[in-house]
Amino acid sequence: MKIGTCLATFKTKFSAVSFTGTDIEANLRKISSLGYQGVDIFLHRISPVELDTLLELLTKEALEVAAAAAIWITEQGITLSHKEPEKRKEALMLLNEHIEVAAKLKAKFPLGPIRGNRIEDESYRSYEQRLAETLRRLIDKSETLGVTLMLEPVNRYECNTLNRVDQCIDFIETYGLKQVRLLVDTFHMNIEETKIDKAILSSEEYLAHMHVADSNRGVPGFGHLDYNAILQALVSINYSGFLTMESQSFPSVEVSAKAGIDYLRSLLIR
Ligand SMILES: [Mn+2]
């Protein structure tokens, strides 16, 4: 398993990204020197020139991009299941552009809060149909470019549907979205799943990426999750992808970024 962290290249309201700020070069250098092998990158719209520069910096620091998120689109109130067709169209237009960038970065694309919420009083079925219809169009583009779409179970305080692994698998199966994989996140699982390790085992056929944080959304080791059990479950399903820290930085970015990787490494080499 490889270890990653999160980097934003723009000012996001999301607090679980460790590395932010405009000096992307310095951040990538720091991430690499701490021993991380990759990043999940939170991008805004990016020009071809900026993308080339970013690719050069990533190569220089030998960092992979596990996932490229488009949280800025969600922050504008634009989602894949928006009740207004115009907004769904806008989401698709922006995401088609984003998927092209993700393809150049060889990154997967996470479907977290960008899928949008169920409208109050609406049935789950009608929400899911709207989401599935938009996703089918996104799949056309992502399949052509070889970008994996990953549905992420997100906790109830942030999303009002698809909170657990079993619900996401059921959604994928029911709507025949067989190209869609799963991204599971220990922070959300701690809130929603009965047992985190069992939920990981049940995701075996679908698991494409992992976000790791502890119970308090600090880095692994800063809370009370059982990381031995979590890693054991991942080993038993032969997971070889990234463990990407999507976590809040306390007491500081420097301290937590080092403590998190040291902790995971110490458990992985046992
Ligand atoms: Mn996550």
How confident is the model over 214-266, as pLDDT tens digits?
Answer: 999 999 999 999 999 999 999 999 999 999 999 999 999 999 999 999 999 99
What percent of the chain shows pLDDT beyond 90?
96
Print the domain residue range for 118: 2-268
Six-digit token pair at 2? 């490889």
Q: How confident is the model at residue 12 (pLDDT cuts 50, 70, 90)?
A: confident
Cα 21 to the center of its chain, rounded Å: 20
Counts of helices then strands in the chain (DSSP H, E): 10, 8
Cβ proximity of 1 and 241 under 8 Å: yes
Task: Report CA(152)–ligand 1 centroid distance (Å).
Answer: 7
- The strands making up 109-111's β-sheet, listed across from edge to edge, are 64-69, 38-42, 2-8, 242-245, 207-212, 181-185, 149-151, 109-111
Q: How many domains does the chain have?
A: 1
Cα–Cα distance, 256 to 166 (Å, whole number): 32
Instruction: Say which amino acid occupies 256.
Output: S
Residue 198: pLDDT band with limits 50, 70, 90: very high
Helix 253-268 and helix 227-236, axial crossing angle in degrees, nearest 10? 50
Catalytic option among 128, 152, 192, 193:
152
- Taking the centre of ligand 1 as the mean of its atom positions, its distance from the CA of residue 112, in whole angstroms, is 7
- Ligand 1 center–CA 91 separation, angstroms: 20
The phi and psi torsions of 109 (rounded to 5 degrees) equal -120, 120
- Catalytic annotation on 246? yes
Please name the residue ranges forming H helices in 34-75.
48-60, 71-75
Mean pLDDT on 103-128 = 96
Question: pTM for this structure?
Answer: 0.96
Say how many Å lie between the CA of residue 28 and the centre of ligand 1.
20
Q: Could you tell me the CATH number of the domain that includes residue 145?
A: 3.20.20.150
Is 100 marked active-site? no
Identify the residue whose tokens are 């994989």. Answer: 181
Amino acid (1-letter code) at residue 155: N
Task: Kindly give, in sequence order, each residue whose CB lies less than 8 Å from that of residue 86, ignoring residues fewer than 6 positions away.
Answer: none
